């Protein structure tokens, strides 16, 4: 088992889901039902199947096996603001993280990519398909909640400019082992603008002229860091695993989210 897959599996089992079952058919243990057999001394009495015992006339025990099949799903923000960057685009880092995510699949594991408000389930296509429409986080998350099984490991890659209400984030975290990689502002530490500059909105394409002085550059960095901290706090409070998406290395960003060495 590869290191990332093992970490994803551990995380899926460890994530609390108040009021609902975790992965597998028995709450919280990561095991699924395999078969019935006659009771033998030493069997856990809690696993006696009373209905089957009544039918057979002798004690019957439910046998469980460890559940190791994963469903890896992803939602990727492909809006214009993800195409910016200093050395390369945030979208390139997101693609790298996405390939690593689906690259963790083994055996009977399943893939699911929510794109253009539909589910792509082909393993090879999941990391390669590109959205044709406008990215909308809320509808994509709603589709995931309706179409994907409970306990799915869900990865979201976004810059956080289009977020659904907190209640929707909480519902997703209760149903899935949810992870978000929040794209870090490429200019949070150094805004490379001086004097009068022409700024183009990455989403709308609108252009305007502004004066950028030392005070404006300092304030921009402060606000970028404050926004980043607030986004991480919002997702964590909703029950999500969070990490930053660094434009320089999407694969390493994903590894850090799960506490493993890149």
DSSP string, 57-94: SS-EEEEEEE----EEEEEE--SGGGG--SSS-HHHHH
pTM for this prediction? 0.77
What does the pLDDT read at residue 237? 96
Percent of the chain with pLDDT over 70: 87
Mean pLDDT (whole number) for 136-142: 96
Q: Which residues contact 38 (CB under 8 A, 6 or more apart)?
A: 56, 58, 59, 60, 61
Cβ atoms 69, 152 nearer than 8 A: no
How far is Cα 243 from Cα 224, in angstroms, rounded to an integer?
Answer: 16
What does the pLDDT read at residue 86? 87
What does the pLDDT read at residue 13? 64
Q: Where are the domains of the chain?
A: 3-66, 71-257
Alpha helix positions (H), 104-192: 123-126, 137-147, 166-175
Which CATH number is 71-257 given?
3.40.50
| Other Cβ atoms within 10 Å of 121 Cβ, number | 14
| Other Cβ atoms within 10 Å of 141 Cβ, number | 22
Which has the minimum average pLDDT: 74-83, 112-121, 128-137, 211-220? 211-220
Owner of token pair 């890149």: 262
The mean predicted confidence, pLDDT, of the chain is: 86
pLDDT score of 66 more than 70: no
pLDDT score of 26 more than 50: no
The model's pLDDT over 172-231, given as tens digits with 9 standing for 90+, comes to 999 999 999 999 998 888 877 777 777 677 667 788 887 778 888 888 889 999 999 999
The model's pLDDT over 97-122, given as tens digits with 9 standing for 90+, comes to 999 999 999 988 999 999 998 999 99
Taking the CA atoms of residue 35, residue 36, residue 41 and residue 43 in that order, the dihedral angle to the nearest 10 degrees is 60
């Amino acid at each position: 088992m590869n290191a990332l897959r093992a970490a994803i599996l551990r995380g899926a089992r460890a994530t609390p889901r108040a009021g609902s079952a975790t992965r597998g058919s028995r709450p919280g243990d990561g095991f699924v039902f395999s078969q019935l057999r006659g009771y033998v001394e030493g069997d856990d009495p809690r696993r006696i199947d009373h209905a089957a015992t009544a039918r057979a006339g002798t004690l019957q025990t439910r046998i469980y096996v460890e559940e190791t099949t994963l469903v890896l799903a992803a939602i990727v923000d492909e809006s214009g603001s993800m195409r910016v960057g200093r050395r390369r685009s945030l979208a390139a880092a997101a693609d790298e993280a996405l390939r690593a995510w689906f690259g963790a699949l083994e055996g009977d594991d399943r893939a699911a990519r929510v794109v253009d408000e539909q589910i792509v389930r082909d393993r090879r296509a999941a990391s390669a398909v590109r959205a044709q429409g406008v990215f909308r986080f809320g509808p994509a998350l709603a589709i995931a909640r309706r179409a994907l099984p409970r306990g799915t490991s869900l990865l979201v890659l976004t810059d956080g400019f289009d977020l659904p209400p907190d209640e929707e984030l909480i519902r997703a975290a209760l149903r899935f082992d949810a992870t978000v990689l929040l794209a870090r502002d490429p200019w949070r530490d150094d805004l490379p603008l001086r004097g009068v500059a022409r700024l183009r909105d990455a989403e709308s394409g609108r252009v305007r002229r502004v004066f950028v002085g030392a005070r404006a550059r300092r304030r921009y960095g402060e606000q970028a860091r404050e926004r980043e901290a607030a986004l991480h706090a919002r997702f964590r409070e909703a029950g999500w695993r969070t990490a930053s998406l660094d434009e320089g290395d999407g694969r390493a960003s994903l590894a850090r989210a799960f506490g493993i060495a890149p």
